[in-house]
């Protein structure tokens, strides 16, 4: 993927990426944009993550897809470094997560976000938060705005494998 004259590649995360992923998430969490994840959580769930890596080897973005049930997953932890935003990196990370979910046979993905417009541009639609299963709310107690949720819920269908670019 080209990013304004600089190359960025999206790949599955590795354990060596965890400190950089943690730093990205911490930056966004300190702004109240997402839930802070511990290093323990990140290492335990590294298989869920994709990262965007610059040609210089810097991790400039991350996203994760967490399967909740046989047909439902959450796209979460989408974070792109401020100086790399607006270059298609968030979209590329979301697409990588969708490919993984399609391979696993998941049919629907949701996200909770403060930037619903971004997700609408990539095929998500807004839904009432109460339409989502209650078991997804387990992490909410850790949110800085709990119990008042200021995030929008969005969902989309996971495309079939043959409809996704490699």
Beta bridge partners of 61: 52, 80
Q: pLDDT tens across 70-121, in order?
A: 889 999 999 999 999 999 999 999 999 999 999 999 999 999 998 999 999 9
Tell me the domains of the chain and their CATH numbers: 2-159 (3.40.630.30)
Classified as helix, coil or strand, 140 is helix
pTM for the model: 0.87
Taking phi over 0 as left and psi of -120 to 50 as alpha, with beta for the rest, 60 belongs to alpha
């Amino acid at each position: 993927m080209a990013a304004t004259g600089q190359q960025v590649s999206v790949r599955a995360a590795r354990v060596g990426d965890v400190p950089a992923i943690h730093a990205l998430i911490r930056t966004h969490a300190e702004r109240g944009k997402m839930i802070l994840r511990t290093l323990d959580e990140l290492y335990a769930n590294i298989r869920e993550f994709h990262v965007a890596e610059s040609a210089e080897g810097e991790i400039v973005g991350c996203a994760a897809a967490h399967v909740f049930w046989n047909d439902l997953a959450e796209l979460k932890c989408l974070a792109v470094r401020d100086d790399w935003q607006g270059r298609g990196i968030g979209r590329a990370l979301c697409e990588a997560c969708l490919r993984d979910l399609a391979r696993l046979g998941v049919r629907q993905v949701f996200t909770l976000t403060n930037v619903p417009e971004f997700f609408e541009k990539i095929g998500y639609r807004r839904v009432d938060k109460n339409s989502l299963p209650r078991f997804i709310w387990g992490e909410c107690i850790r949110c800085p705005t709990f119990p008042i949720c200021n995030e929008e819920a969005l969902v989309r269908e996971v495309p079939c494998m043959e409809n996704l670019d490699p």
